């Protein structure tokens, strides 16, 4: 009972804060679900995504580590949203890797079949 009250109070504070963590609130709208989730784990990359403080050019430019805020793979501003929403070049690269792996698998099957004969 006490824990539920505490979680409800935390959720109300989370929803009531209009100045901080707006991006994180988009990703974790209900803190109770996040807290109760047994498989939740935070790591270096998730922390960068949740805080928007990471290797995103839009951020590194604001702290003086980059001269511009453009993605190195396209002409868009490199924000966390841009990075996690999928980049055309990343998608093309993933498709190419899939094609290469399928071809290697096919060649391996052919080789194994020849070795059996």
Question: For each of the chain's 117 residues, which pLDDT tens digit applies?
Answer: 888 888 888 888 888 888 777 778 877 888 888 887 776 677 888 888 888 888 889 999 999 999 999 988 778 898 888 877 765 555 655 666 667 777 778 887 888 888 877
pTM to 2 decimal places: 0.53
**Sequential DSSP letters for 97-116:** HHHHHHHHHHHHHHHHHHHH
Could you give the C-alpha distances from 21 to 41, 51, 71, 96, in angstroms and in order? Answer: 19, 8, 24, 37
In the chain, where the domains are located: 1-40
What is the spatial distance between Cα 20 and Cα 80, in angstroms, rounded to a whole number? 16
């Amino acid at each position: 009972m006490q824990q539920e009250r505490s979680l409800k109070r935390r959720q109300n504070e989370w929803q009531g804060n209009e100045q901080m963590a707006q991006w994180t609130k988009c990703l974790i709208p209900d803190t109770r679900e996040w807290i109760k989730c047994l498989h939740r784990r935070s790591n270096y990359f998730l922390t960068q995504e949740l805080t928007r403080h990471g290797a995103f050019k839009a951020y590194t430019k604001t702290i003086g580590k980059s001269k511009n805020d453009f993605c190195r793979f396209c002409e868009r501003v490199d924000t966390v949203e841009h990075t996690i929403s999928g980049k055309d070049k990343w998608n093309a690269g993933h498709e190419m890797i899939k094609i290469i792996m399928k071809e290697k698998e096919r060649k391996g099957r052919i080789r194994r079949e020849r070795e059996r004969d």
